[in-house]
Amino acid sequence: MAMSDKELKQLIEINAKTAQAMLDEIADARQERQELREGMIQLQNAVVRLTNLQEGIANLLVSVDGDRPTILKKLTAIENKLNQLLQQPEDQLE
């Protein structure tokens, strides 16, 4: 079965449009992948910064705790001293 010139041109046009649509989809997919890669890199960088910040905070807390007693330790010491004083007989307080 032979195709007429008109049918052949239509077939070529349809194939060309299909091929162009496929190329456009491939280009769009590449663009989306590139944007996804960039987003992943930004996310990885944010996680690294967050991890560094967390380590810094942990080191700061260890440093504060090690250099001087924390408020909780001071309050506990005051509470213990107060308990000792309250347990003494009244004549020892004078």
CA dihedral 34, 36, 42, 47 (to 10 degrees): -140
Query: Considering the chain, what is the average pLDDT of its residues?
Result: 88
Residue-by-residue DSSP string for the chain = -PPPHHHHHHHHHHHHHHHHHHHHHHHHHHHHHHHHHHHHHHHHHHHHHHHHHHHHHHHHHHHHHHHS--HHHHHHHHHHHHHHHHHS-HHHH-
Q: Count the domains in the chain.
A: 1
Domain that holds residue 57: 5-93
What are the pLDDT digits (tens) for 5-47? 999 999 999 999 999 999 999 999 999 999 999 999 999 999 9
| pLDDT average, residue stretch 63-91 | 80
Q: Does the pLDDT of residue 71 top 80, yes or no?
A: no
